[in-house]
Amino acid sequence: MNIQKLEATARQMVAPGKGILATDESSKTANKRLAMRNIPQTEDMRRAWREILFTAPGIENNSSGVILLDETIRQNTKDGIPFRELLSKRGIIPGIKVDKGLANLPNFPGEKITEGLDGLSARLEEYATLGAQFSKWRSVISIGQGLPTTPCLEANAFILAQYAARSQSAGLVPIIEPEVLIEGTHTLIQSEVTIRHALEIVFSAIAKYRIYLPGLILKTSMALPGKQSGIKSTPVEVAESTLRALTTTVPKEIAGVVFLSGGQTPQEATENLNAMANIPHPWPLTFSYSRAFQDPAMDIWMGQDANIQKAQETFAVRVSETALASEGKYK
C-alpha cells in the first residue's frame, strides 16, 4: 500500500472549489430516470446520457472526479474513446462504485445490508488496471419506529471498514458512504442524532481495522427532516445540525467530507452546502451529487440530440454553482 499516493489522490479529490460527480446509479435506477421522461431504456441511451455529462464544456474546472459504475467504466464515447480515458485527459479522476447493492438484513425488518465483499479484492485490482484511482461503497440507514438498530449499524460499519481496507490495499482511495435516508416523518434533530450514532460506530470500525485516515473520504448525508414530516428547515439550521453530528464523530485526519444530495431539490442541496461552508469545520468539505445535477439537465435533453448543448450548459452551470457553494460563495 502506497500511503503517499493514496493521500495525494485523496487531497486532489477534495481540492478547493471542486467536487466529485456521482454517475454510479445502477442500470435499474438509470432506466427509471429515462422512463420518467419517456426516453428508451437501453444501454446505448444510458451511454449517450453519460457522454453528454462527461463531455460538457468546462466541468473540469469544478470536478475533481467522477464515480462510475461497472457498465460505465467499460463504455466508450460514440467516437470510441473509453470514458475513463476521456475523463483522465480532462484532469478528472475516474472512480468506481464497487458494492453489489442492498439486501434485507435477516431478523431486522425494514433494515438493509450492503453486499459485495465476496470477490472484492479481485474486482478492485481489475478496476485499478482500467484506470480507476478511487472507489465507493454505499450503505443505507432508515429512520423509523425503532430504527435504526445498533446491530444493523454495526454490521454495515464492519463491512465499510473491510471494504476500505481492501480498497487501500489495492491502491484505490475509498469513499465510505453511510447514507441516512431522507424518507420518513422524522425531525431534523432525529436525523442529526442518527447521523452521529451511525458515524460513531463507523469510525470505531475504521479505527479497529487500521484504515489510513488521510487516504479516506467520507460521503455523508446532511441532517434533514423527513420528506413526509411536513417540516422545512432553513439552510443555517441544516448546516448547524449536520456539523454538530460530524464534528463530534469524524476524525480530523481524514482527507475530506463530501455530501450527497439525497433527494433534496437542486436549490436546497446548493443552499444547504453553502451554509455549511460558512461555518468553521476541520476538514475539506465539498459535494458528490447525482440527482441534483442530472435531473435538471435530463429534463432538457429528453433523449433528443437537438437538446444536447442546452442540457450540457445546464449541467455545467449546476456544477459551477455547487462548487461556489462548497466555498461559501453561492449567492
Three-class SS state of 196: helix
Please give the CATH number for the structural domain made up of 3-326: 3.20.20.70
Alpha-helical runs (H) found in the chain: 3-13, 27-36, 43-54, 70-73, 83-89, 120-129, 150-169, 188-208, 235-247, 266-277, 291-301, 308-326
pLDDT tens by residue, 114-158: 999 999 999 999 999 999 999 999 999 999 999 999 999 999 999
| Residue 1: pLDDT band with limits 50, 70, 90 | confident
What average pLDDT does the structure give for the chain? Answer: 97
- In this prediction, residue 325 carries a pLDDT of 98
Nearest CA to 250 among 185, 290, 206? 206
Average pLDDT of 22-51?
95
Q: Say what the pLDDT of residue 198 is.
A: 98
pLDDT at 142: 98
Per-residue model confidence (pLDDT) at position 55: 98
Question: Where in the chain are the domains?
Answer: 3-326
Could you write out the three-class secondary structure of 86-145? Answer: HHHHCCCEEEEECCCCEEECCCCCCCEEECCCCCHHHHHHHHHHCCCCEEEEEEEECCEC
Catalytic residues: 177, 219
List, for residues 213-228, the tens digit of each pLDDT value: 999 999 999 999 999 9
Residue type, 128: A
Rounded to an integer, what is the distance from CA 190 to the centroid of its chain?
A: 22
Q: Over pLDDT 70: what percentage of the chain?
A: 100
Dump pLDDT digits (tens) for 222-269.
Answer: 999 999 999 999 999 999 999 999 999 999 999 999 999 999 999 999
The C-alpha cell 444536447 sits at 308
Q: What percent of the chain is predicted at pLDDT more than 90? A: 99
**48-76 pLDDT tens trace:** 999 999 999 999 999 999 999 999 999 99
What pLDDT, on the 0 to 100 scale, is given for residue 158? 98
Distance of CA 233 to the CA centre of its chain: 22
Position 5 pLDDT exceeds 80? yes
Alpha-carbon distance of 287 to 323, in angstroms, equals 8
The pLDDT of residue 277: 98
Q: How sure is the predictor about 331, in pLDDT bands with cuts at 50, 70 and 90?
A: confident
Does this model's pTM top 0.85? My answer is: yes
User: Can you tell me the mean pLDDT for 290-305?
Assistant: 95
The C-alpha atoms of residue 7 and residue 179 are separated, in whole angstroms, by: 24
Mean pLDDT of 175-186: 97
Strands 102-104 and 93-97: unpaired
Nearest CA to 307 out of 322, 297, 317, 294 is that of: 297
Rounded Cα distance, 258 and 273, in Å: 10
DSSP state of 63: E
